Chain A
Amino acid sequence: MVKSAPPADGRPMKKNDLILIAALLAVALLAYAGVSLYSKVSTNKAEAVVYQQGKEQGRYRLSENTVVEISLENGDYNILQIREGQAEITEASCPDKTCVRHRPISRQGESLVCLPNQMAVEIENGADSGIDGATD
């Protein structure tokens, strides 16, 4: 059996030193766990938020596959599909179909817009895309 070497100043390691090390380790571990948990939660929290005429109508997690019909009182509609973490409009009553042609969205701040139906789907609470706006 080899006994642990005493510190350089010749003092043997005390119980308190061990407590200090253990406490620091615990803090570091907790901080690491906190940070990784937070970032995991924030990526899983991404939602497709549906707006009609600028007012929020519903929120759907990107992590759960679903199909939603977003309809207006006059019978106009857009079908929102969420599949494998991506949101897209698969069908719509509008004449231009710009919303249907648009690629699926999944990143923070991306949006699907249907002007005739005054409808927008935006990704919120997603991972930061690093973009503040877009020009098209």
Chain B
Amino acid sequence: MKKVYGVILLVIGIAVLVSAICLYGRDEKLNQYQGQFFDCFDTVTTITGYAGSQEEFSEKMDLLKQKLLHYHQLYDIYHTYSGINNLKTINDAAGVEAVKVEPEIMELLKLGKEMYEQTKGEFQIAYGSVLSLWHDYREQGMAKPNQAKLPAKEELSKRAQHTEMGAVVLDETASTVYLTDKEMSLDVGGIGKGYAVQRLAEYARELGMEHVLISVGGNVSAVGAKIDQKPWRVGVENPDQDSLEPYLCTVDMVDQSIVTSGDYQRYYEVDGKRYCHIIDPHTNMPPEYFASVSVLAKDSGRADALSTALFNMEFEEGLSLVESLEDVEAMWIGKDGEIRSSSGWKADEKK
């Protein structure tokens, strides 16, 4: 009978081993958490990370949310908040006086000016006067689609006269911003969110989070890799919203950011034609080159500005800009679905 006991022991041993392996794997999975909120940058924020418990993760989520909310308020051009000078404060004081600002605004505007130079004006932060006109027509057109109209060409060019970057005066020693042109206004829609995501990723690291994926309305930034050292895998949305295939390809990311600019989410239609929310500073009209452009870069703020700029540029011109920059890759999706990419773009095409 000794042999029978041996067999039983062997079987128990195998069973214990198998369940230990299963449980170990499952434990690791259980430690991944995801949180979501709507309060920032008029979009949905999703944060994926790891923690020992839901409580621990929620605590960190609250801190991250507070931080992002702070950036949201600073970069808001529609509302003022008591006790802080934000972009609306600066816009309201245009032609009147310099406004004292926090470093988060100064740094953003400095990057904005740099990206303006780098993209030869295809990306513009002092373009608020034109963008606000389009914004109003889009809102009205969405509310009453059968009465949707385009802004008049004359009005657009009149407003475009008040978009000189030189009129944005940054005084770093005094920490002030002054718009010398009364008719001008700042709009950081094409960089503020990305810049905030970058700062949020850095803040997450300060909180001791080494493996985080942050997505603020499709501005995605990876802190480190996943906990198993595999890269974060991010899908690039298929601009064709009728297609059943949600992603055109996936990109693997470690300590990188990706931002997409597209014409398929925010737009309105006039006489059956689509007019998206991105406006080319050189024509004052929505560009019609692509359905979307995605930019992969180390810095989310730069990626955000570049994706907007590339959306406004012809492919060849945009490609040579991307190739001239280090650690920046891009993918262009044409209105017909054609996919083109820069030389270092590495993605898995979805089957």
Contacts and interface: CB of A to CB of B under 8 A. Distances in A.
A24 B213 contact: no
Contact of A115 (B18, B38, B246): B38
B216 to A, nearest CB: 11
A47 interface: no
B80 to A, nearest CB: 22
A135 B226 CA distance: 18
Nearest to A118: B38
A7 to B, nearest CB: 14
B247 interface: yes
B233 A98 contact: no
A101 interface: yes
Interface string B36-57: 1110001110101000000000
B209 to A, nearest CB: 15
A54 interface: yes
B235 interface: yes
Contact of B213 (A23, A27, A101, A133): A133
A105 B245 CA distance: 10
A132 interface: yes
Contacts of A51: 36
A92 to B, nearest CB: 13
B220 A135 contact: yes
Nearest to B215: A133
Interface size classification for chain A: 20 to 34
Interface residues of B, number: 49
A82 interface: no
B265 A131 contact: no
Contacts of A111: 44
A136 interface: yes
Interface string B207-221: 000000101001110
B152 interface: no
B243 interface: yes
Given A23-B11, A96-B266, A107-B246, A133 B142 contact: no
A98 B243 CA distance: 15
Interface string A20-60: 10011001000100000000000000000001011000000
B39 to A, nearest CB: 8
Interface in B258-292: 258-260, 262, 265-266, 292
Contacts of B250: 130-131
A136 B265 contact: yes
Interface in B20-76: 35-38, 42-44, 46, 48
B236 interface: yes
A19 B4 contact: yes
Nearest to A129: B235
Interface of A: 14, 16, 19-20, 23-24, 27, 31, 51, 53-54, 95-96, 98, 101-105, 107, 110-111, 113, 115, 118, 120, 122, 130-136
Interface of B: 3-4, 7-8, 10-11, 14-15, 18, 35-38, 42-44, 46, 48, 139, 142-143, 213, 215, 218-220, 226, 232-237, 241-244, 246-247, 250-251, 258-260, 262, 265-266, 292, 294
